[in-house]
Structure 1
Amino acid sequence: MAILIKGGRVIDPARNLDGRQDILIEGEKITTLAANLEAPAGARVIDAGGMIVTPGLIDMHVHLREPGYEQKETIASGTRAAAAGGFTAVACMANTNPVADSASVIYFIKEKARQEGVVRVYPVGALSKGLEGKEIAEIGDLAAAGAVAISDDGRPVMNALVMRHALEYAKMFNLPVISHCEDEALANDGLMHEGLVATILGLRGIPAAAEEVMVARDLILAELTGGRLHLAHVSTAGSVRLLKEARARGVRVTAEATPHHLCLTDMLVESYDTSTKVNPPLRPAGDVAAVAAALAAGDIDVIASDHAPHADEDKDVEYDYAPFGMVGLETAVPLVVTELILPGKLTWQQAIKSWTANPARILNIPGGSLVPGGVADVTIIDPDMEKEVDVNEFYSRGHNSPLQGRKLKGWPVLTIVGGRVVMENGKIIEE
């Protein structure tokens, strides 16, 4: 069935497009963008008046947990969470069981996504065998199987020589190396950001330097090798400064920030809610402002959720013993709209670029633009819709969100993947 999206504000940063347009979708492709299009016979007409219409949003950093940790999330549940959040594609990290360090696991994820997923799934292969940081994985095999990047995310690569080799080998296949920047010795089994709040709460702190030392090291290695480095979940003002300096020198580096590091501070930990326990930790307001300013300036390229679901029983423990991570797919857009776009810290164009054109470019995947003849992946956002976050309504198996009960504005209301509506008004549309 053809679909005509009428009267929306179409924002496509890849084409420098921001204005009222109609979009005609036929089959799996976009066929026409123009004003005042007429609907073909039998087409579904979607009134997008007052709505923001964008290329399908891409989240380049999620944890789908399958294979091995299906009690936390599955490819089926995680992709439905993505669609509910307005995302048409996700890149999933390699810390599964077995680890995605072989072609067979990459093939499994892709096939499982084909059978049970509702959005596009792009696997990220492991940087090192078993995520042990000792020997690089078979990067060529991972690339041939369909991995779009390599990363040991969740664990830092402490051995600088291993990281150097990974950057060199990944360069041969034009794959980005996604770095989890953390010095384990400096982190010292900390639980939250090292600072005033940690002192008041009596919780072991993780200093900003634990991130910044590794950011500096990996930028130096990227400059040495000419490899493509992507910094995951940048969270400190010091990391931003190092990133800017490296960009000025021409280092091949891109970076992402999460909605929670862009919008939330370590003050939330005062509740001892284990959903606030993330790695890197929530930072003070100064760091949050610096990261948001770097995103607005284009020094940080991407907003990525780092969606990290856990079973309820895993998080329902003392703060010391809870695993790191919070869910983010279903709240990413309204959190950014509420905390960054509406207050004027970020424009719609900047936010959408960080969810579309930039991740598509970094991962070299389809989408990211509403171009005639291109894939019909489209997201529609109602900028005026306001509702409370209810984790019990999440499609994700993980409920570990500190946003429970919070009113947010600017929710996705329609997700189209390959010309098929997969989410409408918050409900997944099953075939």
Structure 2
Amino acid sequence: MRPRYAQARRLCAVALITACLQAAPAAAQASGGRHDVITWGASADRLGDAVADRSYRLVVHTSAAGDDLRIRLSNAFGDRPVTFDSVYAGLRRQGAELVPGSNRRLTFGGARSVTAPAGATVYSDPLPGRLAAGTDLVISLHVADAAGSATGHGMAMQTSYIAQGDHTAEENAAGWTGTTGSWFYLDSVTVRTGAATGAVVALGDSITDGWASSSDANRRWPDYLARRLQKADTAVKGVADEGISGNKVLADGAGQSALNRLDRDVLSQPGVRTVFLFEGVNDIKAHTGVTAEDMIDGYRQIIDRAHAAGKCVVGATVAPFQGWSEWDPAAEAVRQEVNTFIRDSGEFDGVTDFDRILRSPYDPERVMPFFDGGDHLHPNDKGMQAMADAVDLTSLDCRS
């Protein structure tokens, strides 16, 4: 065990034990050699106006396998309570159609209905049964009473479905006449698995969110990483993608900053062993006077808070972006200084050099054309896969 990580674990066990226990629901605590681990996640944000008497059929893709799935519904950005009176979990056959017999009702404290207060999240009861890795899981929920701001994840890169009225129990697709490219209210799915199994959370921006990857194909770099982990001899099996397009480390804007959402999106999730931090390009290219010292201070705050919560942190270098409209030599200088810190400071528990993987050997301030999604900032599917392939899987297991 790394000295920094061991020290952080001791601090967590002694001085911060109360906060650590509150970071996950009671059922996530180890029991009989088993505990809850996040198998899917997406960062919550404001998502337009909430609509009453609407159903959402949300398609998500699991990573870690396990039993007794639970979901977390978020009203983090709501300004009034929202009531869910019917919620089901099933397996997708195609489109909005489910595998016959797979759709099962979820309960909340034994009840079919639950109200999430403004700013709060709610967990379902465990649903008995096995959930395989790499499954297209479908959560169907009916919003009975809602107004004000909706909470959800805007850029899902996945088609989900909408219906007016309550169609949650239906396994056919007939009532699901609308589509959406966002996930509403659902922000995590967990499973119960062996106590040795852990998860990694990718904290990032639009590159982590999957912009320029193929929609409905699970080709974001965290998806490729999840598939690698399933085949590898490692105890880290869960992957949660907590990227938000346009997100920054230091300032709110496109979602709350990484600093402001760290607890909710990362540290509160059960079974997390490692925080994978790949963020900073939006701060650097915004021309707001952000310096390398500002960025380094932000990274250090994330490292310190994650260590205090008993997690290790892998840092990834900021990728090149010359050719993007906001690039200039001053921003490039900041990027280079930030990347030197990430590579050489020794303050991260591990480092993945995405800059080295993605940059052109002939023009290192640009993304290699083969990996360029077309805008000189976001990698395409091949670039996403190359990023995932570059991750040292042993760096994701804090016990090593």
Give your verdict on TM over 0.5: no
TM-score by length of 1: 0.27
Q: Comparing both structures, which one devotes a greater share of its residues to strand?
A: 2
TM-score by length of 2: 0.28
Q: Comparing both structures, which one devotes a greater share of its residues to helix?
A: 1
